[in-house]
Amino acid sequence: MILSDVDRKILSLLKKSESPLSTYQIAKKINVTWPTAISHCYKLKSMRLIDCRNEESKFGSKQKVVWWAK
């Protein structure tokens, strides 16, 4: 599978980050919508380039997905 420009931006951002980033943080930092960020993150995960886990959100009882490069 070929990496798109958005895929490369996400991968680069996560490699440079010292801690995992939420989907929202990724979307804001690379200037894309949240749905675009999540779909590309799952694509990269399926390629085994990044990984994720669910974390409790600081606000309310919701959970968020955080991502990091392998």
Per-residue confidence of the chain (70 residues) as pLDDT tens digits? 799 999 999 999 999 999 999 999 999 999 999 999 999 999 999 999 999 999 987 776 688 899 999 9
The reply to whether the predicted model has a pTM over 0.75 is: yes
pLDDT of residue 57: 78
- Domain range holding 29? 5-69
Residue 10's alpha-carbon distances to 1, 15, 61, 62, 64, in angstroms, are 16, 9, 27, 24, 17
**How many domains are contained in the chain?**
1
Q: What is the CATH number of the domain that holds 23?
A: 1.10.10.10
What pLDDT sits at residue 61?
67
Look-up of token digits 């991502």 = 67
Instruction: Give the pLDDT confidence score for residue 63 in this predicted structure.
Output: 86
